[in-house]
């Protein structure tokens, strides 16, 4: 099953993706993961992307699209995938359609006040990227990851001003994708303000699993 997870920052896309990976037996693929893997493997595209990032620039659409295409050609993605963080714009979505047809686009619907609460309390392990929360999921030892012992910190983009900016960018650039895909009849909506377990059950229901 080929899925795109769409929703604002803090909607819980990554948390659900971790569970769905086991449920469906397909990989979760994010642009961040693709970039890190390509750079580490020193593929031609990875070398190109690293040069762009080392120069302090944003990786351009063309390079990101080629990286996604390259990743989707790998053996583990042949049965399907979960795209999280791509596409971000309608031009990216149109480019994706040229080399892979998605089955469903899962739209995460969460009120802004819940998003702000989640993002404002998010704490992330610097080593394994596990997400904690200052209120609902504290590490057993303050500042230390339960899973790998790495440092748990607050990301710069989880600061209040950055959160507002991220939401503004999402509304302007990424939210139009919902209408774009809804016109194609592939959008399923999930109310994602509940616990991860409840969201998993809702996901299974709307997907007919």
Q: Residue 79 catalytic?
A: no
Q: Which residue has 């690293």 as its token pair? A: 50
Give the span between the Cα atoms of 170 and 150, in whole angstroms: 30
Q: Residue 71 catalytic?
A: no
CA angle centred on 140, ends 135 and 143, rounded to 5°: 80
Give the span between the Cα atoms of 14 and 84, in whole angstroms: 7
Task: Considering the candidates 79, 155, 171, 204, report the single residue annotated as catalytic.
Answer: 155
CA angle centred on 156, ends 155 and 162, rounded to 5°: 120
Task: Considering the candidates 19, 88, 104, 138, report the single residue annotated as catalytic.
Answer: 88
Residue 187: count of CB within 10 angstroms of its CB: 18
Q: Residue 122 catalytic?
A: yes
Beta strands in 15-139 (DSSP E): 28-30, 81-84, 104-109, 122-125, 131-133
Q: Residue 88 catalytic?
A: yes
Task: Considering the candidates 2, 13, 71, 118, report the single residue annotated as catalytic.
Answer: 13
Dihedral class, residue 143 (left if φ above 0, else alpha if ψ from -120 to 50, else beta): left
Task: Considering the candidates 2, 71, 118, 122, report the single residue annotated as catalytic.
Answer: 122
How would you classify the pairing of strands 122-125 and 152-153? Answer: antiparallel
Q: Residue 155 catalytic?
A: yes
- What is the token pair recorded at 13? 């896309």
Catalytic residues: 13, 88, 122, 155, 166
């Amino acid at each position: 099953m080929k899925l795109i997870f769409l929703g604002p920052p803090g909607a819980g896309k990554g948390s659900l993706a971790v569970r769905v990976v086991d449920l469906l037996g397909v990989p979760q693929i994010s642009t961040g993961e693709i970039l890190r893997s390509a750079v580490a493997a020193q593929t031609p595209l990875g070398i190109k992307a690293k040069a762009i990032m080392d120069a302090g620039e944003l990786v351009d659409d063309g390079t990101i699209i080629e990286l996604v295409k390259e990743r989707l050609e790998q053996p583990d993605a042949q049965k399907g995938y979960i795209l999280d963080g791509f596409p971000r714009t309608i031009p990216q979505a149109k480019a994706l359609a040229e080399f892979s047809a998605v089955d469903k686009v899962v739209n995460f619907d969460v009120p802004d006040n819940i998003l702000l609460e989640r993002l404002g309390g998010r704490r992330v392990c610097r080593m394994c990227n596990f997400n904690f929360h200052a209120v609902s999921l504290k590490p057993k030892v303050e500042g230390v990851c339960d899973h790998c012992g790495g440092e748990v910190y607050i990301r710069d983009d989880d600061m209040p001003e950055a959160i507002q900016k991220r939401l503004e960018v999402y509304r302007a650039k990424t939210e139009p994708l919902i209408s774009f895909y809804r016109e194609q009849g592939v959008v399923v909506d999930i109310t994602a303000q509940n616990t991860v377990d409840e969201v998993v059950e809702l996901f299974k229901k709307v997907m007919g699993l």
